[in-house]
Homo-oligomer: A and B are copies of this chain.
Amino acid sequence: MEVLLGVLAIEPMSGYDLGLTIRHSVGHFWNESYGQIYPNLKKLASEGFVSCKTVRQKGKPDRHIYSITEKGRERLKKWLTVPPQPEIPRNELLLKLFFGEQVPTEILIGYVERMANEHRGLLELLERTEREEIDNNQHYPGAPYWKMAAHFGQMEMRAHLRWAEETLAELKKIASKRRKRSEIRQEKRHAGK
């Protein structure tokens, strides 16, 4: 809801563009689906927080360009001054790892490797975005804040990658132990026959 106001405070745009802009600016820590964006824009418009101009297009449906109003800016500021409450994120990977005993270690190794690859990619993306997007908008007063948010993501990703390395080493140790144990079991079974 308030992301929409925040982005529209930077620049008026359509619902579709809001989706794209949100994805590649705050996408690494906040996302909104179109099933959320369109109804919320309508609601914000009906309550006077945003205004809407309709632009005709040939072939395509009309574009609705939304702009934030004074009332909208006030609402945004009011929301910004409410202390954010801490939220416990849900991490399915960690949960599955926590119960990892129940499952072959190779599976867990796959999960951690996959996560590491994803986060490596995300880290690169964040670094690139910082260089290209934020540094090219140094004149804009919001740029320092964008940088802080981007840095958060970068530092988190690097921590995750370090953890993944450490954890993969540990998992591989466990895997080889397990293999040895099952080999011994096999031998005993052979001997017992």
Contact = CB atoms under 8 A, between A and B. Distances in A.
Copies in the assembly, this chain: 2
B149 A159 contact: no
Q: How large is the interface on A (under 10, 10 to 19, 20 to 34, 35 or more residues)?
A: 35 or more
Given A88-B28, A103-B81, A166 B151 contact: yes
Contacts of A162: 155
Nearest to A145: B100
Contacts of A93: 84
Interface of A: 2-3, 6, 9, 25-31, 73, 76-77, 79-81, 83-103, 107, 110-111, 114-115, 118, 141-142, 144-146, 148-149, 151-152, 155-156, 158-160, 162-163, 166-167, 170-171, 174
